[in-house]
């Protein structure tokens, strides 16, 4: 694997291989190292999980990190993304982890001769989030085929929804969406349902963060209480879930909006398990891309 920029570019075999490698790392069956390799993490959008999870993965692989902060870099003097990345390659970085607000920002970087790992591009793709979600699902069910999944929330603005819809359907899962009309996305395909019509039938409820930062002025009418009542996971819906159903959310969570505060760490929740798996999954992505 030369780069990881989109789930569309991974075959189902690639996905299963990455999950298997991550699982070996998690269970201590293999002790990987990328000692002597240099990496820079470029986050043009805010992040807690993805940035810290990559940093942790890099530490566990004994990599050296080149500290790069947008606010103190020459990006502030107008340096282009291409020139920033070309510079980091020239000084000896072996890979770049990048989160950027522009969809497909990576297109101009793929022939530079340095692995590009997409940590999220606008509303486009979030491949490592999708892979860690898939790892978490595989741990829970041991398969993807015929699982019934509802992805609920701000579909249109969510790179997580796009990445997971593509990968889960390719892997044989049955995926439907539940979302207010304004956040439905016809370009993605898929069927929209009422959450209450499917809540007792699904194996997985995948909740999405309401992405206020990607909404225009119209969003000032957003009513968190009304949203929670129609699209949020509350106690009543939780109690209707199948016995072995699980709840997922990429986080950060807007508590009492997408999910009731008391349910974030409920027995069916895998939210913190997703974060834990993310470190091993990102270690696998790094060892599969950096030579």
Instruction: State the nearest-atom distance from the C-beta of 49 to ligand CP, in Å.
Output: 4
> Quick one: which of 26, 49, 60, 268 contacts ligand CP (CB under 6 A)?
49
Minimum CB separation of residue 48 from ligand CP in Å reads 4
Nearest of 143, 135, 136, 188 to residue 166 by alpha carbon: 188
- Selected range binding ligand CP among 19-27, 66-74, 194-202, 246-254, rule: CB under 6 A: 246-254
Distance CA 170, CA 186 (A): 18
**Residues of span 118-147 touching ligand CP by CB under 6 A:** 120, 129
Report the residue number, 154 or 199, with the smaller CB distance to ligand CP.
154
Contact 263, 238 (CB under 8 A): yes
Cα–Cα distance, 136 to 52 (Å, whole number): 19
Please state the closest distance from residue 129 (CB atom) to ligand CP, in A: 5
Nearer CB in complex with ligand CP: 129/254: 129
Residue in 240, 252, 261, 262 binding ligand CP, rule: CB under 6 A? 252
Q: What token pair was written down for 261?
A: 């505060």
Q: CA quadruple 134, 138, 141, 142: dihedral positive or negative? A: positive
Residue 77 counted as an annotated binding residue: yes
Is 250 near ligand CP (CB under 6 A)?
A: yes
Identify the DSSP state of 257.
T
Is 212 one of the annotated binding-site residues? no
DSSP codes of every residue in 19-73 = HHHHHHHHTTS-----TT-EEEEEESS--SHHHHHHHHHHHHTT-EEE---GGGS
* Cα gap 194→208, rounded to integer Å: 16
Number of residues that bind ligand CP (CB under 6 A): 9
Residue 11: count of CB within 10 angstroms of its CB: 9
159 is in an annotated binding site: yes
Note whether 211 binds ligand CP by CB under 6 A.
no
Per-position x/- string for 86-125, each x denoting binding to ligand CP as judged by CB under 6 A, each - no binding: ----------------------------------x-----
| Residue of 227, 208, 230 whose CA lies nearest to 274 | 208
Task: Indicate whether 269 belongs to the interface with ligand CP (CB under 6 A).
Answer: no
Q: Quick one: 164 or 287, whose CB is closer to ligand CP?
A: 164
Q: Is 180 annotated as a binding residue?
A: no
Crossing angle of helices 49-60/271-289, nearest 10°? 50
Residue 255 DSSP code:
B
153 makes contact with ligand CP (CB under 6 A) = no
CA gap 150, 203 in Å, rounded: 8
Is 240 annotated in some ligand binding site?
no
Any contact of residue 251 with ligand CP (CB under 6 A)? Answer: yes
| From 6, 23, 50, 166, residue interacting with ligand CP (rule: CB under 6 A) | 50
| Binding-site residue set for L-aspartate | 77, 159, 209
| Binding-site residue set for carbamoyl phosphate | 49-50, 99, 126, 129, 251-252
């Amino acid at each position: 694997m030369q780069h990881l920029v989109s789930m569309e570019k991974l075959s189902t075999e690639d996905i299963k291989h990455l999950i298997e490698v991550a699982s070996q790392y998690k269970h201590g069956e293999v002790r990987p190292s990328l000692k002597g390799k240099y990496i820079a993490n470029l986050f043009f959008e805010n992040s807690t999980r993805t940035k810290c999870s990559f940093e942790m993965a890099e530490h566990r692989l004994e990599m050296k990190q080149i500290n790069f902060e947008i606010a103190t870099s020459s990006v502030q003097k107008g340096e282009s993304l291409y020139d920033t990345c070309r510079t980091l390659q020239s000084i000896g970085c072996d890979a770049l982890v990048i989160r950027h607000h522009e969809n497909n920002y990576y297109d101009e970087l793929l022939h530079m001769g340095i692995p590009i790992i997409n940590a999220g591009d606008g509303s486009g793709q979030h491949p490592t989030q999708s892979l860690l979600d898939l790892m978490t699902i595989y741990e829970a069910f041991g398969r993807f085929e015929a699982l019934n999944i509802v992805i609920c929330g701000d579909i249109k603005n969510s790179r997580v929804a796009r990445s997971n819809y593509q990968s889960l359907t390719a892997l044989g899962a049955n995926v439907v969406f539940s979302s207010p009309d304004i956040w439905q996305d016809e370009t993605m395909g898929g069927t929209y349902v009422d959450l209450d019509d499917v809540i007792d039938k699904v194996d997985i409820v995948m909740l999405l963060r309401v992405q206020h930062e990607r909404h225009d002025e119209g969003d000032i009418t957003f009513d968190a209480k009304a949203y929670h009542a129609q699209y949020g996971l509350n106690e009543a819906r939780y109690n209707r879930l199948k016995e072995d159903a699980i709840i997922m959310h990429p986080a950060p969570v807007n508590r009492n909006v997408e999910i009731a505060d008391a349910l974030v760490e409920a027995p069916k929740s895998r939210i913190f398990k997703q974060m834990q798996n993310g470190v091993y999954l990102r270690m696998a992505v790094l060892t599969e891309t950096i030579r």
